[in-house]
Amino acid sequence: MKSNGSWLSTLNPSCKLIAHLLVMFLLMGISDPVITLCLWLLAVVIGITLGGWRLSYLLRRLLPYTLFFVLIFWMLAAFGKGEHVLWQWAWFRITEESMNNGLTIGLRMLGFVTYGLLFTSTTDLTALMMSLIHQLRLSPKWAYGMLAGFRFIPLFQSELQQMKSAHKIRGYKQKNSWKAFARYALPLFTQGIRKSERIAVAMEARGFTGTRDRTYYLTPVMTGKDWIYAASLLLAAGCIAWLLPW
């Protein structure tokens, strides 16, 4: 998660997070494919105008999703409930209602993906954690603990890959999958636990107590444009949701 230097990335992360989550909750309450589509388009427009997305970036991120979209649409259309049967074959039963629902849910998930991307592609992880401390009153102990822990994602990924290769070269085949899970999980966890202990000791040895009375290099604040963005996003989404049906 890195910021991309767009206007959206200059906003306060907590404010942006909450605004986007609220729009996602709004999406959950809507069962009309047209409104859902419009809310999704709103996210795309914001992404292109304020979020610094290029069309090629958008396509690259959303194209893999289309397959998933088709799958969800098919599952709901073929296995959903409804009265007006359009087409029936074997245990597949497509009705008008289930088609409609499939379209709504597929578009809703697309909306979730896009609003999520709008947040993750424009927010820096450290800035988010600092903002969580100052705006949402998260304890510094947890914020810095998480920052330390999240640094290990790439390390664990390469360790897992290494273990997989080591097993492969010795002719190990995954016979059943939960045993394979335990086989990779155990070394990963033992290493992780040892590392976590060392990190915690290192943090405390440098005087980190995790209390709120500490100094900060950067103190994020809420400014006027944060309020304006959150308010106009919610207003626009609300207008689409309530005015469009008329």
Binding residues (CB under 8 A) for another protein: these are 1, 20-21, 24, 28, 61, 64-65, 68, 71-72, 75-76, 79-81, 97-98, 101-102, 104-105, 108-109, 112-113, 115-117, 119-120, 125, 141-142, 145-146, 148-150, 152-153, 156-157, 160, 177-178, 181-182, 184-186, 188-190, 192-197, 199-201, 203-204, 208, 210
Is 92 strand, coil or helix? strand
Task: Please identify, using beta-carbon distances, which residue of 200 and 239 lies nearer to another protein.
Answer: 200
Task: Please identify, using beta-carbon distances, which residue of 81 and 225 lies nearer to another protein.
Answer: 81
Closest by CA position to 22, among listed 193, 246, 241, 245: 241
Residue 131: CB atoms within 10 Å: 26
Residue 198: CB atoms within 10 Å: 10
Task: Please identify, using beta-carbon distances, which residue of 15 and 105 lies nearer to another protein.
Answer: 105
- From its phi and psi, is residue 211 left (phi > 0), alpha (psi between -120 and 50) or beta? beta
Instruction: Output the smallest distance, CB 119 to another protein, in A.
Output: 6
What φ, ψ does residue 12 adopt, rounded to 5°? -70, 125
Q: Tell me the Cα Rg of the chain.
A: 23
Closest by CA position to 98, among listed 87, 113, 109: 87
- 88 sits in which H/E element: strand 85-89
Is 207 strand, coil or helix? coil
Task: Please identify, using beta-carbon distances, which residue of 142 and 172 lies nearer to another protein.
Answer: 142
Instruction: Output the smallest distance, CB 240 to another protein, in A.
Output: 18
Instruction: Output the smallest distance, CB 69 to another protein, in A.
Output: 11
Instruction: Output the smallest distance, CB 72 to another protein, in A.
Output: 8
Task: Please identify, using beta-carbon distances, which residue of 212 and 223 lies nearer to another protein.
Answer: 212
Instruction: Output the smallest distance, CB 154 to another protein, in A.
Output: 9
**Eight-state DSSP code of residue 62:** H
